[in-house]
Structure 1
Amino acid sequence: MVILNRFDGSENFTRSWNEFRMGFGNLNGEFFIGLDHLHRITNSQQFELYVEYKYFDGIKGFARYDNFRIGNENTGYVLKSLGAFYGSNIDDLMTSNNLNQKFTTYDKDNNKDYRNCAQTFKGAWWFGFCRGPNPLAQYSRNARSSELSSMSWNGFNPIRSILMLIRPKQ
């Protein structure tokens, strides 16, 4: 099941807490499934998270976690579990930077940093101290972007596309 798809910048991801709670976009284009849906799904049974990203030079990478689960709105949609990490081209940045963090948007600052990471880096996420993946940041149309607020998986190299999927663990 696709939970996030970004590939051309056609959808604006600078969104409010309520929009991230409900989800937005087009299932045939760029979209985010919504935190309420994601909570309900990931708490119904054990799910794997698979992330596929592509850099502007065509190099692809992936990250896979075997026990992805988030809390409900009362917990700030905390990233409760990731499980074991399997990946390519990158270290496990989500476990070290995002696990046990609440979701932050520009209008709801839940991160531990002194600044609102979603405002500073133009992207909502499970930020702790404004480090690590930022797949919901603004879309960059080129690899030369020096903006730390560009969509990325490693926190600094802009990526062209990202696809996040979940599936029941079997």
Structure 2
Amino acid sequence: MPTISGIYRLQVPNMNVFCDAVDVGGRWLYIQRRVEQDVISFDRNWFTYVSGFGNIGALTSFWLGLEALHQLTSSANYELLIGIKNEHNEFREARYSEFKVSGGNDGYRLTVGGYSGTAGDMLHNNAKFSTFDRDNDSSSTKNCAKDFHSGWWFDNCRNSNLNGPYEKASRTRIEWGSWADAAKFSKMMIRRK
């Protein structure tokens, strides 16, 4: 793993990634980031979430891609670190000692466990990923991804959605439980154990 934060090329999957060599002991690989300086829409279709989108860089917003997450986490054990900053510049973290994403035939199902941190345990363990054109959430009456304008591991539409739009007063905003009202920054990073 690199000793300097920056963009690196992975062999499997064959793609560029942004690595953080500083935070919490370093060796972190970014899988998602939202920054105010680079506002892009995360209201994307299934294929785009599978492939990934945005420009990978130090101050950019992007989603690495579900297939890349599956390939990485099926080959080794990973942990997950989430960081969120709200409009008052308060920063909190959620850390999971277990993080895995299954393959496309299983809806890129999320497996997380071993929570610690200050943000709260808001990920939906065992949830499949949903987009507006692929409704895999547990709600029998709604399409959470369509209603909340993003792709995410929804469970009956609530608790967390780090891919929601930048909206302060809307129920469809970037969300992490009741804490991250009007979040202005989020990052999701994984590290091989």
Aligned equivalent of 1:19: 48
| CA drift at 1:73 | 0.2
Unaligned runs of 5+ in 1: none
1:106-162 Cα offsets, whole Å, 9 max, x none, are 11101111100011111211111001111011123xxxx221101122267120100
Distance in 1 (alpha carbons) for counterparts of 2:55 and 2:41: 11
One-letter amino acid of the structure 2 residue matched with residue 166 of structure 1: I
Aligned equivalent of 1:7: 35
Structure with more of its chain in strand, by fraction: 2
User: Secondary structure of 1:66's match?
Assistant: strand
User: Secondary structure of 1:83's match?
Assistant: strand
Aligned equivalent of 2:85: 54
Unaligned runs of 5+ in 2: 1-28
Matched, 1:91 2:120: yes
1:88-123 Cα offsets, whole Å, 9 max, x none, are 0x32121xxx11111000111011111000111112
User: Secondary structure of 1:53's match?
Assistant: strand
- Identical residues among aligned pairs (%): 33
User: Secondary structure of 2:69's match?
Assistant: helix
Map 1:20-169 → 2, pairs under 5 A: 20-28=49-57, 29-79=60-110, 81-88=111-118, 90-94=119-123, 98-113=124-139, 114-140=141-167, 145-154=168-177, 157-169=181-193
| CA drift at 1:167 | 0.4
Distance in 1 (alpha carbons) for counterparts of 2:44 and 2:186: 18
Larger radius of gyration: 2
User: Secondary structure of 2:83's match?
Assistant: strand
**Higher RCO (C-alpha under 8 Å, 6+ residues apart):** 1
- Normalising to structure 1: TM-score of the pair? 0.90
Judge conservation of contact 2:113–2:125 (CA < 8 Å) in 1.
no
User: Secondary structure of 2:153's match?
Assistant: coil
User: Secondary structure of 2:161's match?
Assistant: coil
One-letter amino acid of the structure 1 residue matched with residue 113 of structure 2: G
- Normalising to structure 2: TM-score of the pair? 0.80
Distance in 1 (alpha carbons) for counterparts of 2:171 and 2:163: 12
